[in-house]
Structure 1
């Protein structure tokens, strides 16, 4: 008879399930501000999952990871995105290349693929978070799907950041996270990348009076 799953592992699995649900909510969301709110909430849930793993395992670096996630994914990056949306005067709904019901069906297929791919890997892991590996891979795939089905540049950036959340969850699931030096390097890269992309958004808006990326095709045609 299988041993009962520890309460901490159940709590981590719950947080991981919420992260996956938020990924689906982001995939279906059309409004930019609501999308940023969902990203911040996803970051907060990831922070809580990491904190529970830190308390349970005694891994000190996970406390720093949780704090870094809180500062970067819940506070700083959403604030930067809010400022960009306000300054760029982004309004209305975000147009998608395919309709929402079809996107959600494709997302469900990707989730099933992710769980099947992650199953043999998670069986090799001995961490209490190994059950969330399939969810982490599913979040990455859903974020990638959001990136390729949205036409607004700023929503693609949110999709990229959500993908990084999934990768962070996968690292925590498999090996209790990455070394702190690596995490700090990735955090700095993400922050600098968002700032550079913010400048890029202004250039797109000034050139085309829109943030729809299909306008970039004009440059290729010319």
Structure 2
């Protein structure tokens, strides 16, 4: 397989991750949001596995396996369980309209391309565009965290943001395996803590809408 084709497939998979990030922004149902996050993790798995082959970096296969098991399977199943246990309503409330959110997301993607391609002008061609795509995924994850009023939606935004960081690390010739595993387990621990906090919020306020917490603190009028 030619190097150009390997680059094209790597960029296609990275672009697919950006596309699925937009699907996350568009979702207005909790179960659909969690299922889309599972798809996000599957695309990340494929992208990292392809980077492992293209770079000749076998340790990235372990990163891909961790993403497949924990991000695409364990965490989505746990989120579905949390939604059922908490009895959360299925609709997601947004702080900003969907149309404006999508337009903002497109602006962030354009900004990522302009900034990263200029900053990495002398970098490896494979790494340049993948880093630009990864930055776009990170910014879209941040946008999701800002625009979602539901705590579950904000958790998914945080985890999609972390997927962007993994994509960046894989595209930039990877990082030490011990660091990748540490990051993966740190995210898993963070997810467990977030799950416990969600249960406590539900018990205390009978909702996971972060707007209710603002009302309780007197920060909303």
The reply to whether TM is greater than 0.5 is yes
Paired position in structure 2 for 1:70: 68
Which residue matches 1:134? 132
CA distance in 2, matches of 1:129, 1:43: 20
| Number of matched pairs | 218
Quick check: 1:9–1:129 contact (8 Å CA) kept in 2? no
Shift of 1:122: 3.3
Work out whether 1:144 is the aligned partner of 2:142.
yes
Counterpart position of 1:6: 4
Shift of 1:125: 2.1
Do residues 211 (structure 1) and 200 (structure 2) align? Answer: no
Counterpart Cα distance in 1 of 2:179 and 2:70: 15
SS at match of 1:6: helix
Q: Contact between 1:204 and 1:211, CA under 8 Å: does it hold in 2?
A: yes
Q: Is the 8 A contact 1:127 1:173 kept in 2?
A: no
CA–CA distance in structure 2, aligned partners of residues 84 and 7 of structure 1: 42
1:20/1:138 contact within 8 Å kept: yes
Query: What TM-score do the two structures reach when normalised by structure 2?
Result: 0.93
Structure 2: give runs of 5+ residues left out of the alignment. none
How many Å apart are 1:185 and its aligned residue? 1.1
2:88 aligns with 90
The one of 109, 112, 115 aligned to 2:113: 115
1:1-222 alignment, distance < 5 Å: 6-126=4-124, 128-174=126-172, 176-221=173-218
Aligned Cα RMSD in Å?
A: 1.6
Residue 22 (structure 1) shift = 0.5
Conserved 8 A contact 1:97-1:151: yes
Confirm or deny: 8 A CA contact 2:18 2:136 kept in the other structure: yes
**What whole-Å deviation, never above 9, does each CA across 1:153-190 have from its counterpart, x for those lacking one?**
0110000000000111111222x222111111111111
1:219 to partner: Cα distance: 4.2
Query: After the TM superposition, which parts of structure 1 deviate over 3 Å for at least 4 consecutive aligned residues?
Result: none
Q: Which runs of 5+ in 1 are unaligned?
A: none
